[in-house]
Amino acid sequence: MATVVAFCRVMTLQMKSPQAALDYARVEKAIHYLQRNFLEQPDLETLARSANTSAYHFQRLFSRWAGISPKKFLRYLTCDFAQQRLRESRSVLDATFESGLSSPGRLHDLLVSIHAVTPGEYKSHGKGIEISYGFHPTRWGRCLLAVTTRGICGLSFDDGTGAGLQELRQKWRGAKLVENPSVTAPIAEKIFATRRHGKIDLLLMGTNFQLKVWEALLKIPAGNVVSYRTIGEWIGRSTASRAVGTAIGSNSIAYLIPCHRVIRSTGMLGGFRWGTARKQAMLGCELAGRS
C-alpha cells in the first residue's frame, strides 16, 4: 500500500517535471532508430548510441521517462502482443459500449465532453470565435494548445517546426487567434500533469462522420487498442475502415481524443499524424501501465 502511494507520487512528479519533456526528444531518437533497424534487434548499447548517450545513461534516461526498461517497453510494441491486446480490448469494449454508444446517456460518464461548432461557424471556419493558444512542454514533446471559452479546440505536437500553428490557422481561418500562454498554461498543466483531470470540454469542427468517429475514440480506455474496422463497426459503418482512418487522421485534438489507441487489425501500429514514433511512445507507456 505504501509502495503504491509512493509510486503514484513518483509518477506525478515525473509528469510534472520538465525533465520528462527534455527526455522525450532523445527517447524519440531511439525509437526512430528502432523503427529503421528492428530487424537486427539492436542491443542496449547500439540503441544508446543512436540517442547519443552511453548505455548506462540511456537505461537511466529511458526508465525515468517511461517508468520501465527499454527492453520491457519494446515487448509491448510487438505485432503479436498488439494483436492479442486488440482481441482482449474488443471483447471487453464491445460488450460494454456497443449498445451504449447509441444511447445518449453514455457521454455523462466521460471525463471529456465534446461540443461541435454551429453549422454557421463550420462554414466560416470559426467566424466570431476567439482562440487563445500557447506552447508548453510535455512528456511527449512540446505541445501547441488552443482554447476557446467553449472548450479546447486544438492540441498538437510539432517539435518546434511551426507546422502545428500553421495547421491551426488554416483550420480556424475565420477565427481570431491570439497567442496567450498564460491562458493555456494552467490548462496544459491540468491535462498532462495529473492523472485524473476532471471535466474537460472540447470544441470540435468536423463533418458528421468525423464527429462520430472522434466521439467513438473517447470510448477507448487507456491501455486498450482497437482496429480501424472496429471503430467503423461502432458507428455502423463496418466497411468504411479506410474512411475511418482518414477521419481519425484529421482529429486535431491529440491525446485527449486518443487516436493513438487505434491500430491496424494486423497488429501493426499504422500511421500517426504527429509521427509514428510518438504513437509508439504513447502506446508503449499506456500498455505498460496495466499488465
Partner DNA sequence: AATGCTTTATACT
Partner DNA sequence: AGTATAAAGCATT
Within 10 angstroms of residue 57's Cβ, the number of other Cβ atoms is 13
Q: How many residues bind DNA (CB under 7 A)?
A: 31
Within 10 angstroms of residue 247's Cβ, the number of other Cβ atoms is 26
Whole-number minimum distance, CB 268 to DNA, in Å?
A: 8
Phi-psi region of 195 (alpha: psi -120 to 50; beta: other; left: phi over 0): alpha
- Residue 150, classed as helix, strand or coil, is coil
Task: Tell whether residue 271 is a contact of DNA (CB under 7 A).
Answer: yes
Grid cell of 173 as nine digits: 481561418
The site map against DNA for 197-216 (x = CB under 7 A) is ---------xxxxx------
Task: Tell whether residue 242 is a contact of DNA (CB under 7 A).
Answer: yes
The full 3-state SS of 169-216, as one line of letters, equals HHHCCCCEEEECHHHHHHHHHHHHHCCCCCCEEEEECCCHHHHHHHHH
Tell me whether residue 143 is one of the annotated catalytic residues.
no
Contacting DNA within 161-200 (CB under 7 A): none
Whole-number minimum distance, CB 156 to DNA, in Å?
A: 10
> Interface with DNA by CB under 7 A: which range of 12-20, 36-44, 90-98, 264-272?
264-272
Among 164, 132, 168, 135, which residue's Cα sits nearest to residue 148?
132
Grid cell of 132 as nine digits: 487563445
CA distance 160 to 191: 20
Task: Tell whether residue 264 is a contact of DNA (CB under 7 A).
Answer: yes
Q: What one-letter code names the amino acid at 132?
A: S
Among 248, 282, 285, 287, binds DNA (CB under 7 A): 248
Task: Tell whether residue 247 is a contact of DNA (CB under 7 A).
Answer: yes
- Kindly name the residue from 8, 79, 143, 259 that is annotated as catalytic: 259
> Interface with DNA by CB under 7 A: which range of 37-45, 101-109, 188-196, 240-248?
240-248
| Closer CB to DNA, 40 or 109, in the complex | 40
User: Which residues are designated catalytic?
Assistant: 259
Site residues (CB under 7 A) for DNA?
206-210, 227-229, 237, 239-251, 259, 262, 264-266, 270-273
